[in-house]
Amino acid sequence: MTRFKATVSEDVEANRLMVKSVSEGLIGLSIAQPGDTPEFRSTGKLLEGQEVTVTIKGANSWNIEAGGDIEAGADVGVGDDGMAIESEDSFGYATRSASAGDKIEVVRASSGGGAGEKGPRGDAGPAGDKGPDGDQGAKGPVGDQGPIGDQGPVGEKGPTGDKGPTGDKGPDGDPA
């Protein structure tokens, strides 16, 4: 699922078809008009100026209020006030018959009205600010000991009379 915040630009009844707009970097939602390709549906009553969280669930069908009588299997488009109506300028089809004011399931079958050829991809937007560094991960296990290296060079000769280590006792006389 994907979510984003938007501001409602007008009062919207539940189960109405809606479209998105962007103005000065702000996302707005409004009632879809005849000929529009609906992008969302309202799941409850919305008020002008209300900030809402839009959740994209990828549903193949929507329950929408019928704006007139609709026959089962009929092509459905956007009518007045964002209601579903029988229309050749359709974005889907009705799963059953309904009368005006009934909720009807509409299967979203095509991009519908106003859709044409896909335009070219736009330029990439500016890069966002770098996010904060994450926490340091857990320390990993100690690795295997590597091979013994070559013996180093012989050291310098000590002062006269110094017997140096004998190999079997440490400097304090204890066994090494």
Domain ranges of the chain: 2-108
On the CB side of 139, how many CA atoms lie within 13 Å of its CA?
A: 3
pLDDT by residue for the chain (176 residues), tens only, comes to: 788 899 999 999 999 999 998 888 889 999 999 989 999 999 999 999 999 998 888 889 999 999 999 999 999 999 999 999 999 888 999 999 999 999 999 999 854 444 455 667 778 878 888 888 888 888 989 888 889 888 888 888 878 877 766 655 555 555 55
Question: Can you tell me whether residue 66 is helix, strand or coil?
Answer: strand
Torsion of CA 28, 32, 37, 43, to 10 degrees: 80
In angstroms, the CA 47 to CA 8 distance is 7
Q: Which positions ≥6 away from 80 have C-beta within 8 Å? A: 34, 67
Q: Is the whole model's pTM more than 0.85, yes or no?
A: no
In the block, tokens 């204890």 appear at 174
Backbone angles phi, psi at 80, to 5 degrees: -60, 150
